[in-house]
Structure 1
Amino acid sequence: MNIKALVLSVVLTFSLPFTAVLAAQQPDSPPENPKYDGIEIVVNVNQASAQEIADLLKGIGLAKAQAIVDYRDQQGPFKRIEDLAKVSGVGEATVAKNVGRIEL
């Protein structure tokens, strides 16, 4: 084995554990808005504006929030929290992440 291959294998061997450490440090979701730290957040999706929905629900940006408002305007108020998954771009996982924050 030549010296370059040996050095490369040693460097790769010792750098591999750090890859796992860096991956573990990455947040699973985007950070929440710090101005709401320590406050119980509840959003009435039948009354909130698109901006309020986007600001207060996890995984919902302004475009999805506007889709929720448009769906509500066309179909009427949501009767069950699970009905939010009927909105294009909002899946069951997103609804599940926010179930404690949503009221009707």
Structure 2
Amino acid sequence: MQGLFKALAFSLLLTFALPALAQDMAPIDVNTADAELLQELPGIGETRAQAIVEEREANGPFESADDMTRVSGIGATTIDGFRDQVSF
């Protein structure tokens, strides 16, 4: 019974602690991040992350989250999913 209580307590701790930890993470600078780091953003997989890097290298830095619509496949909905997790 004690083991079950410990497991339940640990589960509850993770449920409430992990979202708080995620919010404390520093924003990702999309103008300096590599493709691997960009994949940590919601809605950004390997292909889109590489496209962000290529767009940035070809046409200069992004000035805002909305600027990221320059990348094919990234629209307003995707941007709204990570807007508070990026910096420029």
TM-score, L = length of structure 1 = 0.61
Unmatched runs of 5 consecutive residues or more in structure 1: 1-34
Residue of structure 1 equivalent to 2:58:
74
- Residues of 1 paired with 2:39 and 2:28: CA distance? 10
How do 1:39-58 and structure 2 match up within 5 A? 39=22, 40-41=24-25, 42-55=27-40, 57-58=41-42
Deviations, residues 44-72 of structure 1 (Å, cap 9, x unaligned): 000000000002x0010011000000000
Instruction: State percent identity of aligned pairs.
Output: 33
The answer to whether the aligner puts 1:38 opposite 2:21 as a matched pair is yes
* RMSD of aligned Cα (Å): 1.7
Residue of structure 2 equivalent to 1:93:
77
Residue of structure 1 equivalent to 2:43:
59
Count, aligned residues = 69
Q: Answer with 1 or 2: which has the greater Rg.
A: 1
TM-score, L = length of structure 2 = 0.71
- Residues of 2 paired with 1:36 and 1:94: CA distance? 20
**Higher relative contact order structure (alpha carbons within 8 Å, sequence separation ≥ 6):** 2
Unmatched runs of 5 consecutive residues or more in structure 2: 1-17
